[in-house]
């Protein structure tokens, strides 16, 4: 069968309908991981000055301010600091941190030690076993957008829990979406997405995707990520240095092509080819 006969026998109309029904001509991402997780910076409460047998527990959120790169502004907060100092001889510090780095957002904990190694055993046990709530909170504002009222958009990202993390020690993990301070509905019919439930179902690694409808013409979107633990910090799992509790990656916001528009595109291709075959 010649190419001309192939087109004349109706294969192109079928192709046109497939384009319209399957969404092959999907739009390019308007937000992607390469830009979304900029700039790289970290929120972690600094430790206090050493004191004689001083145990410090601070669960308040620490906010070092916001940073901007291009049209993306991140605000990080992290709560949960436990430290034990034995004068200037030895010290242990366990602090929650929130960080954008590379193409990821990380909710983690860092254990640092100073001083004489022989004294650190009981000191570490006291710090890691302390009763302190860890909490993480990050918000990203992306400006310079042009979302059309009534148009559909897909948000997708991956969330993973770190090695050895006990998800039952997390009391919450959520994702929220808003614009100019107004929450956008249609995130699985609620305003926030319960990431913790999805993580527990997915076994520690979950690909999340949902669609929302722009309620009006929008020039910016705000994305919020947060998580918290129950009181005993040791329940998350053992830690010897850095511990990634949750890592968010592969973030994208993509317009959803309208089926009618794709069908018209397919039909346009069909009539164009048919016209050429008649020449």
Residue 60 has pLDDT above 80, yes or no: yes
Q: Which residue has the higher pLDDT, 113 or 136?
A: 136
The predicted structure's pLDDT at residue 276: 54
Residue 189 has pLDDT above 60, yes or no: no
Q: H or E stretch including 105? A: strand 104-115
Q: How far apart are CA 120 and CA 91, in angstroms?
A: 7
The three-class DSSP label of residue 146 is: coil
In this structure, the number of other CB atoms found within 10 A of the CB of residue 121 comes to 10
Residue 42 has pLDDT above 60, yes or no: yes
Q: Which residue has the higher pLDDT, 95 or 23?
A: 95
Section 34-61 average pLDDT: 85
The two tokens of residue 255 are: 């317009």
Residue 131 has pLDDT above 80, yes or no: no
Residue 56 has pLDDT above 60, yes or no: yes
The predicted structure's pLDDT at residue 144: 95
Residue 73 has pLDDT above 70, yes or no: yes
Q: How far apart are CA 259 and CA 47, in angstroms?
A: 56
Q: Backbone phi, then psi, for 125, in 5-degree steps? A: -60, -40
Residue 51 has pLDDT above 90, yes or no: no
Section 59-66 average pLDDT: 94
Residue 12 has pLDDT above 80, yes or no: no
Residue 261 has pLDDT above 90, yes or no: no
Residue 274 has pLDDT above 60, yes or no: no
How high does pLDDT run on average in the chain?
80
Section 143-151 average pLDDT: 94
Residue 195 has pLDDT above 60, yes or no: yes
Section 159-181 average pLDDT: 90
The domain spans of the chain are 27-136+147-256
What confidence category does residue 129 fall into, taking pLDDT thresholds of 50, 70 and 90?
low
Percent of the chain with pLDDT over 90: 44
Quick one: the chain helix, strand, coil %, rounded to 5? 25, 45, 30
């Amino acid at each position: 069968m010649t190419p001309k006969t192939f087109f004349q026998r109706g294969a192109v109309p079928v192709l046109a309908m497939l384009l319209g029904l399957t969404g092959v001509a999907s739009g390019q991402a308007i937000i992607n991981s390469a830009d979304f997780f900029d700039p790289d910076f970290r929120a972690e409460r600094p430790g206090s000055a050493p004191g004689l047998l001083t145990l410090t527990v601070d669960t308040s959120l620490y906010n070092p301010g916001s940073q901007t790169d291009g049209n993306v502004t991140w605000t990080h907060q992290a709560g949960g600091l436990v430290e034990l100092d034995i004068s200037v001889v030895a010290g242990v510090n366990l602090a929650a941190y929130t960080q954008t780095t590379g193409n990821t957002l990380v909710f983690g904990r860092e254990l640092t030690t100073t001083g004489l190694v022989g004294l650190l055993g009981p000191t570490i046990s006291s710090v890691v076993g302390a009763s302190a709530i860890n909490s993480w909170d990050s918000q990203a504002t992306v400006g310079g957008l042009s979302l059309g009222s009534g148009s559909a958009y897909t948000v997708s990202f991956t969330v993973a829990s770190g090695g050895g993390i006990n998800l039952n020690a997390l009391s919450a993990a959520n994702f929220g979406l808003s614009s100019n301070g107004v929450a956008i509905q249609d995130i699985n019919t609620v305003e926030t997405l319960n990431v913790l439930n999805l993580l527990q179902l997915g076994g520690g690694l979950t690909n999340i995707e949902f669609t929302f409808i722009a309620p009006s013409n929008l020039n910016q979107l705000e994305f919020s990520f947060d998580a918290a633990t129950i009181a005993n910090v040791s329940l998350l799992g053992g830690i010897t240095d850095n511990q990634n509790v949750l890592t968010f990656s592969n973030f994208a916001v993509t317009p959803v092509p309208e089926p009618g528009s794709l069908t018209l595109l397919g039909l346009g291709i069909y009539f164009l080819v048919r016209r050429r075959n008649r020449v």
